[in-house]
Structure 1
Amino acid sequence: MMCSLPSFLSRGKLATTAASACRVPAVCAQMQAMYATGPRQEDKTFYEFRTYTIKPAMMSDFLKLTKENIHLRTAHSELIGYWTLEYGGLNKVFHIWKYDNFAQRAAVRAKLSQDRDWLDKYLLKVLPMMDKQDNEVTYLVPWCKLQKPEKEGVYEMVSFQFKPGGPAVWGQAFRAAISTHVNTGYTKLVGVFNTEYGLLNQVHVLWWNESADNRAAGRHIAHEDARVVAAVRESSRFLENQKNLLMLPTQFSPMK
Structure 2
Amino acid sequence: MFARGGRLTSALTTRLLASQACAFFATGPRQNDGTFYEFRTYYLKSSKMNEFLENFKKNVHLRTAHSELVGYWSVEFGGRMNTVFHIWKYDNFAHRTAVRKALAQDKEWQEQFLLPSLPLIDKQESEITYLVPWCKLGKPPKEGVYELATFQMKPGGPALWGDAFKRTINAHVNLGYAKLIGVFHTEYGALNRVHVLWWNENADSRAAGRHQSHEDPRVVAAVRESVNYLETQQNMLLIPTSFSPLK
TM-score by length of 2: 0.90
Percent of aligned pairs sharing the same letter = 64
Distance 1:115 1:172, change over 3 A: same
Inter-partner Cα distance in structure 2 for 1:122 and 1:34: 44
Matched, 1:64 2:73: no
Matched, 1:82 2:72: yes
Distance 1:251 1:40, change over 3 A: closer
Inter-partner Cα distance in structure 2 for 1:7 and 1:250: 49
How far residue 252 of structure 1 moved from its aligned partner, in angstroms, is 0.4
SS in 2 for 1:195: strand
Distance 1:103 1:65, change over 3 A: same
Matched, 1:36 2:27: no
SS in 2 for 1:57: coil
How far residue 5 of structure 1 moved from its aligned partner, in angstroms, is 2.2
RMSD: 1.8
List runs of 5+ in structure 1 lacking aligned partners: 10-31
Distance 1:153 1:8, change over 3 A: closer
Distance 1:7 1:151, change over 3 A: closer
Partner of 1:237: 228
Partner of 1:26: none
TM-score by length of 1: 0.87
Query: Which aligned segments of 4 or more residues in structure 1 are displaced greater than 6 angstroms?
Result: 32-35
Matched, 1:117 2:126: no
Inter-partner Cα distance in structure 1 for 2:23 and 2:235: 32
Partner of 1:18: none
Inter-partner Cα distance in structure 2 for 1:46 and 1:8: 28
Q: Partner letter of residue 229 of structure 2? A: F
Distance 1:172 1:115, change over 3 A: same
Inter-partner Cα distance in structure 1 for 2:185 and 2:132: 6
Partner of 2:89: 98
2:165 pairs, out of 174, 177, 180, with: 174
Matched, 1:4 2:13: yes
Partner of 2:197: 206
How far residue 148 of structure 1 moved from its aligned partner, in angstroms, is 1.4
Aligned length: 233
List runs of 5+ in structure 2 lacking aligned partners: 1-9
Inter-partner Cα distance in structure 1 for 2:159 and 2:126: 26
